[in-house]
Amino acid sequence: MSATQDQRAGGVLLHPTSLPGPQGIGDLGPEAHAWVDWLAACGCRLWQVLPLGPTGYADSPYQSYSAFAGNPLLISLHLLAEEGLLREEELQPAPDLPGESVDYSRVRDYKQPRLALAAERFFAGSAPHLKQAYEAFRHEQAHWLEDYALFMALKEPQRGAAWVEWDPALARRDADALRKSMASLVSRMDDHRFQQFIFFRQWRHLREHAAERGMRIIGDVPIFVAHDSADVWAHPELLKLDERGYPAVVAGVPPDYFSSTGQRWGNPVYRWEAHRQQGYAWWIARMRSALAAVDLVRLDHFRGFEAAWEIPAAAPTAEEGEWAPGPGGPFFEALRAALGELPLIAEDLGIITPAVEALRDGFELPGMKVLQFAFGGGADNPYLPHNYPHRCAVYTGTHDNDTTRGWFESAPQAERSFCLRYLGSTPQAVVWDMIRAAWSSVASLALAPMQDLLGLGSEARMNLPGRIEGNWRWRMRREALSEELAGAMRELHGLYGR
């Protein structure tokens, strides 16, 4: 376990889309910088986000069009105006978008034309101070940026159709077909390259601001990629696809804490032997990119690196499937040889076997503990704080859980009773006492979703696994960042040495 993971610290889980702001979605502009300042005032040293990629199916950050790209909807139009690429009056009138949720369709309708206008002006010569930085970005990121820009440009005339539904020559990346498309889509590819340049420029400035405030950012790398992504289109040989390019099997998990029928994610599954033959080059590039953007990485679905649940592509749920071996120790050895220290948090929730634990512990990776799972058994429950090792990250709940208040209000009576007895709490105080239990534990890292700091109920839940619509929408109001709450968090951090 590296010093990065070992240092005792506390923080908050909040995706940037949930930040306040006038344009229907949180972004990387002034409100994000104010958020970092508020976290610093709380004494927090950690800010955890969800995957930052461009969202595809159902607006899920876990179903991205690229494992490398950033989400253009997070670009601050205000900062683009400061760069001289938009005028403030062009940001008005902002549509009457909701302040407490994200309407992704309406946000796209508002932001995309303005992003395109900024790109048009840039390539026409505006903001010349950015030209050299743009050219350097394009050169340094060419290994993924060119495929991504072409992929996104090709999707537009196809009305967003998945790549397997394109002209077969383009779907199979016929060289002549790609050359012709690139010649006809120059401006659209430039637009997508520009958006990525601006996203990472704004993200870098925000991360630097966080570092100046003593903050480390925890990112999130999903193990699997979306089928309809530049990654799968550009590297089909690395995945288990049929002759038409469709997944032969799909990823998920069997029935578990979150769903009685399991979770059928639908992502294609890796051909790990093909990755091994290439020296895990694609994964090394992916992790290098992630660690250039954040300080620590939550490695989602860690158990899939030991064995993954493969579901027949035609199966409607995850109940039918089988465990298929993952890459195991040689994969992490290759990462460590290429990247050095591995500042990772292993998301080891769900069905965990001794082999998964051995893989995690063999590379000294902290696992995860979720307090909402702690009260469904007896004193030997591994999620109870008195059973924690130092090498772990404890959460009151995650983005996949209900809020802690929502969980408590809907939990079986036996769990509620045990929870109150264990914490010495009352129903009115249970959320804050759960936070206190996490912070006071021996776990090196302690985090809570912002919804829990605010004591919100199920209406503020970020994601309900298995639900197709209505996820990833929650936003907080600016007034939530109160000095009173900051003071309470400062007290916890001081009291428990975080």
Which one-letter amino acid corresponds to residue 47? Answer: W
**Would you say 368 and 347 are in contact if contact means Cβ atoms under 8 Å apart?**
yes
Q: Is 441 helix (H, G, I), strand (E, B) or coil?
A: coil
For 322-375, the three-class secondary structure string (H helix, E strand, C coil) is EEEECCCHHHHHHHHHHHCCCCEEECCCCCCCHHHHHHHHHCCCCEEEEHHHCC
**Domain locations along the chain:** 3-70+203-495
Q: What token pair was written down for 286?
A: 């992916």
CATH 3.20.20.80 fits 3-70+203-495, yes or no: yes
The list of the chain residues with pLDDT below 50 reads none
Backbone angles phi, psi at 416, to 5 degrees: -60, -45
What is the per-residue pLDDT across 401-426, written as a single tens digit (0 to 9) for each? Answer: 999 999 999 999 999 999 999 999 99
What is the per-residue pLDDT across 224-272, written as a single tens digit (0 to 9) for each? Answer: 999 999 999 999 999 999 999 999 999 998 887 667 888 898 999 999 9
Q: Which residues are catalytic?
A: 300, 347, 400
Q: What token pair was written down for 73?
A: 């909807």
How far is CA 50 from its chain centroid? Answer: 2
Determine if the peptide bond prior to 93 is cis (ω within 30°): yes
**Would you say 64 and 475 are in contact if contact means Cβ atoms under 8 Å apart?**
no
Integer-rounded Cα Rg, in Å, for the chain is 23
Identify the burial level of 235 via C-beta atoms within 10 angstroms of its C-beta, where 0-12 means exposed, 13-18 middle and 19 or more buried. Answer: middle
Q: Is 53 helix (H, G, I), strand (E, B) or coil?
A: coil
pLDDT of residue 159: 86
